[in-house]
Structure 1
Amino acid sequence: MTQTPIGVAVVGAGYWGPNLVRNFQATSSFRLRWLCDLDVERAQKVLGPYSTVQVSADLDAVLADPEVQAVAIATPAGTHLPIAMKALRAGKHVLVEKPLAATFDEGLQLVEEADRRGLTLMCDHTYCYTPAVLRIRELLHAGELGELHFLDSVRINLGLVQRDIDVVWDLAPHDLSILDFVLPEGVHPISVAAHGADGIGAGRACVAYLTLELNTGAIAHIHVNWLSPVKIRTAIFGGSKKTLVWDDLNPSQRVSIYNRGVDVATSDEIGDEQRRDMLISYRSGDMVAPALNEREALRTMVEEYARAITTGEPALTDGRAGLRVLEILQAASRSLAEGGTTIKLDEGHMA
């Protein structure tokens, strides 16, 4: 982009803030002006001794700077509503680390406020901007895999047991945001059921399985786990034409596309079981591993934030995408509490 760089402030210098700082500084579309954190010393260490970026613990002072047009928030989810709302009311575009807010209702307040003010509200669903997921989205939207029949996703590791959230709220937002991102237009979840277990007595689910039904009859299954001794990050997208396997931990072959599957011939006269069996055939074709241009997902996400601000068009992971993920998370929590009951989703929000 050739226009004047967008002045941006990052709020939060903890775990994720430094990554945002690095990518904003490396993107010509932005000029990082402030790093805001209650721990000023920590913020100064993130920037280094020779940085000209200003540091402050006073959010109001940062938002009062007319050179700041955009804000990126990397603070705990419980603080997203007050910080993002204050930024929107100050006339700033807002990027929020996942999840968009602590609850669906809080997220809805942010979406409505951004709409009223004509401002960009974007959720940093980082995984959606990896080269692999961008390719999966492209293939599904173009119909290259055919109609999606199933998604089977596994995100497990020996992870840090969180004090304030369970494994669903910690890990499943990644998979739910990816599902929302790659599904073709008109395809969306209509229900979710969740089962979980707390085998170590942590007081919250440490292992969980989510099953989502899509409006097309397809099914999505997500396994998240803090207790696995091995780390696995895989997803299988089964289509009517081809099946795609994504292995995020295999840098030499992250995506594999298999021309293998089951075909059912159509007939007006499907009779007994023997006749039905005659109409089923198995396809065993080639496997292709497309080349991907490896690039940091956060860099692509930051550029998408700039595009949304500059054009006024919604970001690929806008506030409404964040809302859809929040609705599923809340429904999954309710299902867990009720022993795995199936919870219907509001199709008006999902569509």
Structure 2
Amino acid sequence: MIGLAVIGAGYWGPNLVRNAQATPALHLRWLCDLNESRARSVLGPYSTVKVSTCYEQVLADPAVAAVAIATPAATHFDLVRAALDAGKHVLVEKPLTCSYADGVKLVQAAQRAGLVLMCDHTFCYTPAVQKIRDLISAGEIGDLCFFDSVRVNLGLIQPDVNVLWDLAPHDAAILDFILPADVRPVAVTAHGTDPLSTGRACVAYLSMWLSSGVLAHVHVNWLSPTKIRTVVIGGSRRTIVWDDLNPAHRLTIYDRGVDQAADPDERRQALISYRLGDALLPALPESEALGTVMTEFAAAINNGRAPRTDGRAGLRVLAVLEAAAQSMALGGARIDIPNGVAP
């Protein structure tokens, strides 16, 4: 069993603790948080897991081989770097860190030390996203035509990041996970508004041009009175609709769409036909994604391999977020993403 410490007992930390304790390959030894009473309340009165307010104490324990970090994004670089320097494998909540340049340093440090650096891109481990990835890689939907995501709710306004950095990493990570290996975002535009004068954007719209010519779009919002988690992925043959809030019909594959004329001259005349086919609801297992994350983290350590959402995946997400922040600051200008973003 791999000795594990969880750093951070706030919003996400308790979920890490619960799933770590349910993962046979992991042995949770420490929970570290600046608020000791909060950490103890997460563990309960009968837990044998140690509690500390000092992460240096946790990293000094030779029984700890890995750490899972669930702290504010601004603390990620220092905590991840300290853990890697101490010879620990690291699972870190999204985003990897607050800047692409710092992310490169962390990825390179993990490479030099031969350690696993994994990003907790939780949605990539849901049965629905795993199925979507399989469908796209098998060519079941044909060529990708569009990606449209809505992630809105009446949510917690974060003190350190805007809504784009809080919610859009999920969608950027999902897109990175399901795209074919030879397709990547090459440019972005982003717009954001702050209608409540909070000092940070609470509503944002992100568009990403892919190397295949496809346009992907993401809408994120902290101010919606209703919660919506919907992704529509259109292909030349079929369209996938993922409604994460509908457990009965979480994933639907539509054999419906628009067929263009095969002849180029006819296409220029915009001659199209509508295809009305069946809708398929594939059966998906009900499993907690974070449990799969923990299993993957342990397997990557034990097998000496890169996890499915490794540090490079985190860098690709950071490249999109940094370009989006630059675009938003410039009033929505198109910003190119350099090729070969990961070291």
Indicate whether 1:109 and 2:105 are aligned: yes
Change in 2 beyond 3 A, CA 1:273/1:320: closer
Q: How does 1:137-286 map to 2 (within 5 A)?
A: 137-267=133-263, 270=265, 274=269, 277=271, 280-286=272-278
The aligned length equals 343
Q: Distance in 1 between matches of 2:11 and 2:157?
A: 16
Range with bigger deviation, 281-290 or 196-205: 196-205
Q: Would the aligned equivalents of 2:312 and 2:342 in 1 still touch at CA under 8 Å?
A: no
Q: How far did 1:38 drift?
A: 1.8
Range with bigger deviation, 136-145 or 196-205: 196-205
Change in 2 beyond 3 A, CA 1:49/1:132: same
Q: Distance in 2 between matches of 1:185 and 1:244?
A: 20
* CA deviation profile, 1:220-253 (whole Å, cap 9, x unmatched): 0101111212111101000111000000111100
Range with bigger deviation, 5-14 or 158-167: 158-167
Q: Distance in 1 between matches of 2:267 and 2:40?
A: 74
Identity level (%): 60
Q: Would the aligned equivalents of 2:239 and 2:257 in 1 still touch at CA under 8 Å?
A: yes
Q: Distance in 1 between matches of 2:260 and 2:19?
A: 49
Letter in 1 for 2:126: T
Q: Which residue of 2 aligns with 1:23?
A: 19
Point out where structure 1 has 5 or more consecutive residues left out of the alignment: none
Q: Which residue of 1 aligns with 2:95?
A: 99
Q: Which residue of 1 aligns with 2:302?
A: 310
Letter in 1 for 2:105: Q
SS class of match (1:347): coil
User: Could you list the runs of 4 or more consecutive aligned residues of structure 1 that deviate by over 6 angstroms after TM superposition?
Assistant: none
Q: Which residue of 1 aligns with 2:47?
A: 51
Q: How does 1:296-335 map to 2 (within 5 A)?
A: 296-335=288-327
Q: Would the aligned equivalents of 1:188 and 1:350 in 2 still touch at CA under 8 Å?
A: no
Let me know the Cα RMSD of the aligned residues: 1.5
| TM-score of the two chains, using structure 2 as the length reference | 0.97
* CA deviation profile, 1:51-84 (whole Å, cap 9, x unmatched): 1111112222211222111111111111111111
Q: How far did 1:163 drift?
A: 2.3
Q: How far did 1:272 drift?
A: 8.6
Letter in 1 for 2:181: E
| TM-score of the two chains, using structure 1 as the length reference | 0.94
SS class of match (2:265): coil
Q: Distance in 2 between matches of 1:75 and 1:205?
A: 21
Q: Would the aligned equivalents of 2:104 and 2:342 in 1 still touch at CA under 8 Å?
A: no
Q: Distance in 1 between matches of 2:201 and 2:54?
A: 37
SS class of match (1:348): coil
Q: Which residue of 1 aligns with 2:28?
A: 32
SS class of match (1:203): coil
Q: Distance in 1 between matches of 2:267 and 2:277?
A: 29
